[in-house]
């Protein structure tokens, strides 16, 4: 990149998704002078990207790209293209000539939560335990005002999970408040707490492994990166590191003192205990509603957020008979103003349920 004269007329363009590992020499003046950060699209961008990809498939009249865009915060252009491809494959498997809104919704769930594994054999005891686990997550989320709204809960195995609760943010988020992080800690503890309250201390399972990993990672970030510990203050603390060279010598980097490390561990423990205690208070207080959600999950296997809200309000679940497939209709939805639809969210992964990914601080 050196040695070009100003009159060469050569422009070098490069792209990377790992700017943190670039050689600093590449970024000094005279090399790449202009850096353009391309983030994931917002709701307007997602709608425009969806319209581009949807032109490649035959659509039913009920398809609304705006609705899909509202329910896919955080999706990249590649994710949206994958969603449309999955919807087209689902329509083909169902012997439809057009892609309907049902296929797009099912494809979104498949992309976000993983493919359903209905052939997986689970005993009645395992299914019952999974239902209580997911009901615990859902109940705590419903009683945590700062939590993202619930999109769906299911005990059908998806991906590597035996079941999961998915939450979706109502809008694009670029930073999280302390109250939301505390709510996420409580929701992540809801599954394990439900198991313990219902089956007893000795009957809890390893199904909460992803929840425990997530809450520990989130609590550590709150203390060491985001300055949310009153005792440690707004300071960044890096972990002590050990590097092995050629398998023989070990280089140790001491970033914090032993006393500070102990205080960090104590603060992390306090945050996790807060989430556990909050979840237990909610589940014990509303045990009857936990049972109602669990019974519904065992009967229907998958519940929407609105259905679970109705359950804790004392309403029975009423489902309409599936409408006829729109395979006889073709053509794209006529242009015009989209109807705004409020949709809930947050993602879950890991065995027997999970919680949203770690929030990232704004730059």
The catalytic site residues sit at 134
Helix (DSSP H) and strand (DSSP E) numbers for the chain: 11, 6
Give, in order, the Cα–Cα distances in Å from 360 to each of 10, 176, 224, 226, 292.
37, 8, 14, 10, 35
Q: Residue 288, Cα to own-chain centre: how many angstroms?
A: 28
Q: How far apart, in whole angstroms, are the C-alpha atoms of residue 38 and residue 15? A: 10
Which residues have CB under 8 Å from 121's CB, separation 6+?
none
Could you tell me which of 100, 95, 149, 155 has the C-alpha nearest to residue 323? 100
* Lookup result for tokens 């029975």: 316
CA-nearest of 234, 212, 216, 226 to 270 is 216
| Kind plus residue range of the DSSP H or E element containing 152 | strand 150-154
3-state secondary structure of 102: helix
């Amino acid at each position: 990149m050196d040695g070009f004269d100003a009159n060469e007329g050569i422009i070098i363009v490069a792209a990377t998704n790992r700017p943190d590992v670039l050689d600093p020499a590449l970024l000094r003046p005279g090399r790449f002078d202009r850096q353009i950060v391309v983030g994931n699209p917002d709701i307007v961008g997602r709608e425009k990207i969806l319209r581009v990809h949807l032109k490649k498939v035959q659509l039913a009249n009920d398809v609304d790209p705006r609705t899909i865009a509202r329910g896919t915060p955080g999706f990249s252009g590649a994710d949206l293209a994958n969603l449309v491809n999955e919807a087209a494959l689902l329509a083909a498997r169902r012997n439809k000539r057009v892609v309907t809104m049902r296929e797009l919704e099912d494809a979104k769930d498949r992309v976000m939560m993983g493919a359903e594994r209905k052939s997986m054999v689970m005993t009645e005891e395992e299914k019952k335990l999974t239902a209580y686990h997911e009901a615990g997550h859902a109940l705590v989320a419903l009683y945590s005002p700062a939590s993202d709204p619930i999109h769906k809960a299911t005990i059908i195995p998806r991906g590597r999970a035996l079941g999961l609760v998915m939450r979706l943010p109502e809008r694009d988020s670029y930073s999280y408040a302390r109250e939301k992080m505390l709510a996420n800690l409580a929701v992540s503890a809801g599954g394990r707490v439900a198991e313990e309250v219902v089956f007893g201390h000795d009957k809890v399972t390893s199904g909460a492994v992803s929840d425990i990993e997530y809450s520990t990672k989130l609590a550590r970030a709150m203390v060491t990166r985001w300055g949310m510990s009153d005792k440690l203050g707004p300071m960044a603390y890096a972990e002590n590191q050990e590097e092995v060279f050629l398998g023989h010598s070990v280089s140790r980097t001491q970033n914090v003192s032993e006393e500070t490390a102990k205080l960090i561990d104590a603060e992390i423990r306090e945050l996790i205990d807060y989430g556990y205690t909050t979840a237990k208070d909610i589940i014990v207080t509303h045990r009857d509603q936990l049972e109602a959600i669990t019974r519904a999950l065992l009967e229907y296997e998958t519940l929407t957020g609105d259905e679970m809200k109705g359950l804790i309000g004392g309403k029975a679940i009423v489902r309409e008979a599936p409408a006829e497939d729109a395979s006889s209709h073709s053509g794209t939805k006529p242009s015009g103003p989209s109807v705004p639809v409020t949709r809930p969210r947050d993602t879950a992964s890991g065995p027997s349920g999970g919680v949203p990914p770690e929030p990232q601080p704004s730059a």
